Amino acid sequence: MQGDLYMKAVGLVTEYNPFHNGHLYHLNKAMELTGADISVAVMSGDFVQRGEPAALDKYTRASMALNSGVNLVIELPVNYAVSSAESFAAGALKVLNYIKADSIAFGSESGDIERLSKLAHILCDNEDTLYKEISKYTANGISYAAARQKVVEKLTDKDTAAMLTSSNNILAVEYLKAIIKNNYAIKPYTVQRQGDAYNDTNIRSDYASATALRGNLKADNISKYIPVKAGLILSSNANYIYPDDITEVLFTRLLDILFASNYDKNVFIENVMQYPDVSKEIAGRLYKSAMDMITRTVPQRSESKDNWAFSFGSLCEHIKTKEVPLSRIKRALVRITLGLDKKHMEKYANEPYIRVLGFDKKGQEYLSYIRKTVEVPLITKTADYKEMLLDDIHAANIYNMIVAGKYGVKELGDFVRGPVRV
């Protein structure tokens, strides 16, 4: 937007982990559906919603997006990025509202915005009932997903409830709930997901899932599934990070908590329960695992259920329960790794900001316009707002330390690194 020229902005909530053909399809359809003049991607930083480090750092991923047609990339604050689908969506919509997006276009397996909106309204209207009924089921040993399915089916019907068995539908409904609850002037659109399923580990079509691509980052034929310019950026960056690469940092953090707890089980449990999604049972399992780490020798490939290799992935599998899904365990452990307890979740609500990761010429024009009217700090120079950005900077520093330890490559820190310009 410049002068009297008004430019419509469509928001895209993304992780681009990594950017692939499906993301390009989503971008192009979003622009077509909304008639927007500019695309604004709100993207997770160095840690993502599934409870893992991103495969590539946030600046590399932002560059891949900008070189593929996205105009502006904003960082989703880490406290929202590594949280439940509900908090992830709520945080992303806050950012899009602050940056004055006119619309949001999200992917879904359904592709039916009316059905998704109807379900979102029902869930908002029956929030207290949902919480109470789901709690009753989980208290009896039923998994959270199965419990939610049963309760939603009672409120709606079997086909409607079945929409919540698909990853993108779940997030789509949460985006809609955030719009409804906050009365945001953001019009929702949905783009039906193409190609392979979100969690598909095998490449079956030209629209491969990000999950499958992360498992094949070093394959010779991966360029087929990634836009050309993004592929060139990917091929020039071989510093890929995988979930188990955070193992050492995680266990060092657990040792720190043990030390601060004087190795007392009850104190340790009380301390780790300060983190979201950590129940007393999970905290107890964590204590046992942490003590095992320093008191036992465990064979790397032991088949006993009581023996497990000391890695992030195996720890997650070891402490998960039927009632608590693996993804929630992973997010809890990542938050412990980063030191982001429940108090940190309140931080953005009290001190909101817009953190720019990159832009092209059109994105820069849009930033120039909203800078005049935006109601929260619009940050392109990190050093000027380091206290406000401490959580994001700390997460980036840990990520960069992991990269340095694995590859011997020292990245510029968030204190001095500026936005990507295309």
List, for residues 245-267, the tens digit of each pLDDT value: 999 999 999 999 999 999 999 99
Please tell me the distance from the alpha carbon of residue 25 to that of residue 36, in angstroms, as a whole number.
15
Same domain (yes/no): 61, 93: yes
The pLDDT assigned to 302 comes to: 47
Same domain (yes/no): 232, 274: no
Same domain (yes/no): 56, 83: yes
Kindly give the interhelix angle for 265-272 and 247-260, rounded to the nearest 10 degrees.
120
Same domain (yes/no): 262, 300: yes
The pLDDT assigned to 388 comes to: 86
Of the given ranges (45-54, 140-149, 234-243, 280-289), which has the lowest mean pLDDT?
A: 140-149
Same domain (yes/no): 182, 321: no
Same domain (yes/no): 40, 186: yes
Residue 46 lies in a domain: yes
Q: How confident is the model at residue 297 (pLDDT cuts 50, 70, 90)?
A: low
Residue 148 lies in a domain: no
In this prediction, what percent of the chain has a pLDDT beyond 70? 92
Give every CB contact of residue 268 below 8 A, 6+ residues apart in sequence. Answer: 257, 258, 261, 283, 286, 287, 290
Residue 387 lies in a domain: no
Residue 319 lies in a domain: yes
pTM above 0.85? yes
Domain boundary pick from 285, 316, 345: 345
The pLDDT assigned to 203 comes to: 63
- The residue-averaged pLDDT of 175-196 equals 93
Same domain (yes/no): 67, 215: yes
Q: How confident is the model at residue 2 (pLDDT cuts 50, 70, 90)?
A: very low
The pLDDT assigned to 199 comes to: 61
Please tell me the distance from the alpha carbon of residue 307 to that of residue 192, in angstroms, as a whole number.
43
Residue 145 lies in a domain: no
Whether the CB-CB separation of 309 and 300 falls below 8 Å is answered with yes
Residue 180 lies in a domain: yes
Distance (Å) of CA 400 to CA 61, 104, 252, 338: 14, 31, 16, 13
The pLDDT assigned to 217 comes to: 78
With 50 as the cut, is the pLDDT of residue 113 above it? yes
Same domain (yes/no): 227, 290: no
- 195-214, pLDDT tens digit by residue? 655 566 566 666 777 777 88
Q: Please give the tally of structural domains in the chain.
A: 2
The residue that leads in pLDDT, 325 or 254, is 254
Q: Which domain holds residue 261?
A: 245-345
Residue 306 lies in a domain: yes
- 341-351, pLDDT tens digit by residue? 999 988 887 88
CATH of the domain at 212: 3.40.50.620
With 90 as the cut, is the pLDDT of residue 69 above it? yes
Domain boundary pick from 330, 345, 360: 345
Please tell me the distance from the alpha carbon of residue 176 to that of residue 124, in angstroms, as a whole number.
10
Same domain (yes/no): 306, 218: no
- 124-138, pLDDT tens digit by residue? 999 999 989 998 888
**115 burial level (CB within 10 Å; 0-12, 13-18, 19+):** middle
Kindly give the interhelix angle for 247-260 and 280-295, rounded to the nearest 10 degrees.
100
With 90 as the cut, is the pLDDT of residue 372 above it? no
Please tell me the distance from the alpha carbon of residue 259 to that of residue 253, in angstroms, as a whole number.
10
- The residue-averaged pLDDT of 25-42 equals 98
With 90 as the cut, is the pLDDT of residue 179 above it? yes
Same domain (yes/no): 29, 178: yes
- The residue-averaged pLDDT of 320-349 equals 89
Q: How confident is the model at residue 303 (pLDDT cuts 50, 70, 90)?
A: very low
Domain boundary pick from 196, 226, 241: 241
- The residue-averaged pLDDT of 142-149 equals 86
With 60 as the cut, is the pLDDT of residue 181 above it? yes
In this prediction, what percent of the chain has a pLDDT beyond 90? 69
